[in-house]
Structure 1
């Protein structure tokens, strides 16, 4: 009888420990920087599959979107829209940027799209706030 009781207590502690770890990892995941995958949207050009690195990268940390550009471009337009309403929540043109940040703390949670457009690039990505 004692053996059965010990086995049940051990199983209970193990299950509680696993659930606590899962909840803790979700909190940690929400507070880490995540890359927003960007796709090339130039319809007249074929999709190239090469080892050339992407010219722009976007990251999300909390509710701040950071964009870094690998190449110097004269003007870059950043546009962020909300999927549910199609509303543009942010649109700005930048001159010669290397890196920039967009604060979306006033926006509701949901799915958003980011578009990065210049003379040489046209990229789009999807992210969840």
Structure 2
């Protein structure tokens, strides 16, 4: 028997068309399947640098981007592994964005982030 759930899926929360992706947990090594999406979104300023220490003691640096999705009138934060130079209202392409709810909010992270190529005419 299924249990009722009032937690939105990534597609419902973001308004994006999602696809399923198979990932491996770096902490447990277990494989799992989850929703992801790719999107062109607008950065609202410079990304915030975050330094983390993994369970094995290695240090990693990630970047939090405050973004705005004009199509869905949504603002949220996406964590990505690279820093892309941005100014206010810089368009960025986020690839393989995953996310979910936490006890007091949400988390979202992208596999990659890049500036879109300029249209050449």
Please tell me the TM-score bracket, short chain as reference: under 0.3
Calculate the TM-score normalised by the size of structure 1.
0.23
Calculate the TM-score normalised by the size of structure 2.
0.24
The structure richer in strand per residue is: 2
Larger Rg: 1 or 2?
1
The structure richer in helix per residue is: 1
